[in-house]
Amino acid sequence: MNNKIKIPVIILSVLFIAGCAKDSTLIVKLKDEVVTKTVYFNKDLVPLFTANCAVSGCHNAGGKAPDLTAAKAYTSLMNGKYIDTSVPENSKLYKFLTGALSPAMPMGKPTNPGGLNALTLAWIKQGAKKN
């Protein structure tokens, strides 16, 4: 092979090899984390509702339904038909938290604070007990 042909072959080889280099890994999280512990309404969910939902002008006493204050959250969710224990993913509460229903909740707060989405779904799957 003469030198005029060798140089383009070498350059193309280097470019081809460099183009196949891996410089980063992309991790895509398609689902919420899986919760394998018992989720307690009063211990796990109410504090998250209090901090992120039952705030002035939102889901507090006299605010928008459901009332998610500590004293009324459970009754409000159950009586308002926000929970579907037969098909937990169809629960209105879960759909609002994940953005499947608009507007996504909690409004004006980070998405999924404290793992709220996975905890809520696990709690519903565990029978949505007032525990």
d(CA 67, CA 65): 5
Indicate whether 12 belongs to any domain: no
Q: How confident is the model at residue 110 (pLDDT cuts 50, 70, 90)?
A: confident
Q: What digits encode the pLDDT tens for the residues 8-37? A: 555 545 444 444 443 333 232 335 577 889
The per-residue pLDDT for 6 is 57
pTM: 0.74
The per-residue pLDDT for 7 is 58
Which residue range forms the structural domain that includes residue 88? 41-125
Indicate whether 106 belongs to any domain: yes
The per-residue pLDDT for 3 is 54
Per the structure, the count of domains in the chain is 1
Residue pair 106/52 in contact (Cβ under 8 Å)? The answer is yes
d(CA 59, CA 69): 7
d(CA 36, CA 122): 8
Between 26 and 53, residue with greater pLDDT:
53
Mean pLDDT of 90-115: 94
Indicate whether 88 belongs to any domain: yes
Indicate whether 60 belongs to any domain: yes
Indicate whether 28 belongs to any domain: no
Indicate whether 24 belongs to any domain: no
